[in-house]
Amino acid sequence: MTHVLTIPCDTMLIVMSTDSNVNNEILGGLEELGLSKYEASAYYSLLGRGMISATEIAYYSNLPRTKIYFILKKLEKKKLVLINYQKPLMFRALSPKDSFDNVLSKYENRIKSLSKVIEILQQINEKGLKNKGIEEKRYLVLNQFSTDSKIIELLKNTKESIDISLNHWGNVILNASKEEILKAIYRGVKVRILFDLMCRADSIILPNAIEKKSAKISTNMFIFDNNNMIIINNDGTKSAYFDSHEIFVSTLVSQFNDTWVRMESASLKNKKIEPIKL
């Protein structure tokens, strides 16, 4: 449930929610901005109410009446509350935007300073590793769904070549991406597949345009334009994605090419495929 209160002096609409989750989030934000729990509750209860008494503030905020004046004085020092000292004392919240502008500026400056510190730390780390002959690299670990999606994405963007090595379990992976492989062939992409000797390669309908050979293969691997690579575990539940910045991408590309040259063409019966709609 939401109440909309109109403040005549500012002609602004302030929405105050009775949702406890929203209130807790706002109060937590005020605490992060430097207010105590009591101060946050008092200030929040003042918003959109104009000039009200300490008794009313204690009622709306559920704060002890014995502490409310002390809390409001602290809020005044923080330039968040205006106090009318004519009896009876009355209190009004000052504009949050104006009140917290300096605080936000301090946070922004602090973040900039911390960013510079992090950058310096990164440079120190990289320089130290470089001096030891170590270079830090990263790769992505993908789950099964992300693996399938990433393979499809890379197949769509491949321009020149796709090299694939499949172990005895690899037929499942190949079937999942076969349609995009066929589309790549129609775009003029060269496709080579190394099947494991134990792999039933002839059980998959493949076009003659795909070059096929057999070898002893232990790893399921896709190489796209000799640039990007996905290595998939044996049951297809996880994979690792690497780009050309990883040094062993070029090593595995060379290894694939060497194996390809050594092996004779696989004696597979190619079956005709029906044209697919692009």
My answer on whether 118 and 186 are in the same domain is no
Let me know if residue 247 belongs to a domain: yes
pTM over 0.85: no
The residue out of 79, 111, 136 marking a domain boundary is 136
Let me know if residue 271 belongs to a domain: no
CATH number of domain containing 213: 3.30.870.10
Let me know if residue 276 belongs to a domain: no
- pLDDT computed for residue 13 by the predictor: 37
My answer on whether 51 and 161 are in the same domain is no
- pLDDT computed for residue 191 by the predictor: 94
My answer on whether 128 and 162 are in the same domain is no
- pLDDT computed for residue 130 by the predictor: 72
Let me know if residue 273 belongs to a domain: no
Let me know if residue 272 belongs to a domain: no
- Number of domains, the chain: 3
My answer on whether 166 and 206 are in the same domain is yes
My answer on whether 190 and 238 are in the same domain is yes
My answer on whether 64 and 119 are in the same domain is no
My answer on whether 119 and 88 are in the same domain is no
What is the spatial distance between Cα 268 and Cα 205, in angstroms, rounded to a whole number? 10
My answer on whether 61 and 104 are in the same domain is no
Q: Which domain holds residue 45?
A: 2-99
My answer on whether 64 and 131 are in the same domain is no
CATH number of domain containing 66: 1.10.10.10
Let me know if residue 269 belongs to a domain: no
- pLDDT computed for residue 249 by the predictor: 81
Label each residue of the chain as H, E or C: CEEEEEECCCCEEEEEECCHHHHHHHHHHHHHCCCCHHHHHHHHHHCCCCCEEHHHHHHHHCCCHHHHHHHHHHHHHCCCEEEECCCCCEEEECCHHHHCHHHHHHHHHHHHHHHHHHHHHHHHHHHHHHHCCCCCCCCEEEEHHHHHHHHHHHHHHCCCEEEEEECCCCHHHHHHHHHHHHHHHHCCCEEEEEEECCCCHHHCCCCCCCEEEEECCCCEEEEECCCEEEEECCCCCEEEEECCCCHHHHHHHHHHHHHHHHCCECCCCCCCCCCCCC
Let me know if residue 173 belongs to a domain: yes
pLDDT tens, residue order, the chain (278 aa): 444 433 344 433 334 444 566 678 888 888 888 889 999 899 999 998 999 999 999 999 899 988 999 999 999 998 899 999 888 899 999 888 888 887 888 888 888 888 888 888 888 887 876 776 655 566 678 887 888 888 899 999 999 999 999 887 777 778 888 889 999 999 999 999 988 887 765 556 677 888 888 888 888 899 999 988 999 887 777 888 888 766 778 888 888 998 898 886 654 444 443 443 43
Let me know if residue 54 belongs to a domain: yes
Burial readout 153-164 (b: 16 or more C-beta within 10 A, e: otherwise) = ebbeebeebbbb
My answer on whether 154 and 247 are in the same domain is yes
My answer on whether 20 and 92 are in the same domain is yes
My answer on whether 258 and 152 are in the same domain is yes
Q: What is the dihedral of CA 174, 180, 186, 192, to 10 degrees?
A: -30
- pLDDT computed for residue 272 by the predictor: 41
